[in-house]
Amino acid sequence: MQTYFGQVADPDADGEDDDLVLWVGTASHEIPTIDRLAELVSDYAVIAMDVREKLHADYVASLDRGPTPLQRFGRTFFK
């Protein structure tokens, strides 16, 4: 979907999906940068520098490879 995503769960909840208080990045290209993701979750968390570096490294590595067959198939639904 070519987007970053973030989820924030209520730490006092029982671990079910409805315990999410924030879920962003569910649409194609919704969050194009790590900085934008950090803005969106800033009321709940800070994205540590080592996590930012890992996300960036994953992004750079993805530039060297084409979409997987599953990603190509998914694009028919998420344009």
pLDDT of amino acid 79? 58
Q: Quick one: tokens of 79?
A: 């344009």
Terminal-to-terminal C-alpha distance of the chain = 9
Residue 34 and residue 55: Cα distance in Å, rounded?
8
How does DSSP assign 19-63, residue by residue?
GEEEEE--STTS--SHHHHHHHHTTT----HHHHHHHHHHHHHHH
Give mean pLDDT in consecutive 10-residue pieces for the chain, a chain of 79 residues: 88 76 92 96 96 93 79 76
* Domains of the chain, residue spans: 6-74
Whose structure tokens read 């569910």? 26
pLDDT of amino acid 69? 84
